[in-house]
Amino acid sequence: MERKPVAPERYTDQLAALAGFIGRACAFTGHRPQKLPWRFDETAPGCVALKETLATQITTLIADEYTEFLTGMAEGVDLWAAQIVLALRVTNPSLRLHCILPCAAQSAKWSAALQKQYRAILEQADSIIFVNRADKKNCMLERDRFLVSYASLVLAVYNGERRGGTAATVHYARKLGRELIVIDPSTLTVTREEKQGAAR
């Protein structure tokens, strides 16, 4: 049965539960296909290799007792990470996937194939939360900050650019002193920044 998304103000119990999981929670962030070298070709060797690297990092986090995973459900990295968590949950039912949606119309302009992937993930998610119902200005930014706020670690696929949603999320994670793992999508280099004190 598909889980019905709800607005945060109507789901305070779930938000309280998420707050209780912060120490074991990982949030995902990463570029949409348009900013990746292979764009929408998921059969490209670079894309296959990135997914394998992403899966390796998620598996390592699970071994470190991370069980709560938050995805913003954007095209590309967010969807791939969610699919990896769902695949791993088959043999590890302690894992939980939380879909944090920026607005109700997030996937409205996507291709039919991507919309199908999106709905399939939502149907299997452990929870679904709208940060906003309306597609208003800054709803994506609010979603990204929500993700960071409810996680102790952020796993990012990030090419180092200074502007854009992923760059802003990485910056915000550093500002809040979150632990950060960054995968370079071109070289697959993985760097880990240990948890720091929040910036004032």
Please report the pLDDT score of residue 166 as a whole number.
92
| CATH numbers and ranges of domains, the chain | 8-193 (3.40.50.450)
The whole-model pTM stands at 0.87
Residues in the chain with pLDDT < 50? 1-2, 5-12, 200
Distances (CA, A) of 33 to 42, 97, 111, 156: 9, 22, 13, 14
Please report the pLDDT score of residue 133 as a whole number.
74
Taking the C-alpha atoms of residue 196 and residue 178, their distance in angstroms, rounded to an integer, is 7
Q: Residue 131's closest CA among 14, 4, 6? A: 6
Please report the pLDDT score of residue 15 as a whole number.
67
Please report the pLDDT score of residue 9 as a whole number.
46
Please report the pLDDT score of residue 16 as a whole number.
66
Which residues have CB under 8 Å from 68's CB, separation 6+? 18, 21, 24, 25, 26, 96, 98, 151
Please report the pLDDT score of residue 134 as a whole number.
74
Number of C-beta neighbours around residue 51 at 10 A: 16
Please report the pLDDT score of residue 199 as a whole number.
52
Q: Are 161 and 167 in contact (CB under 8 A)?
A: yes
H or E element in which residue 178 lies: none
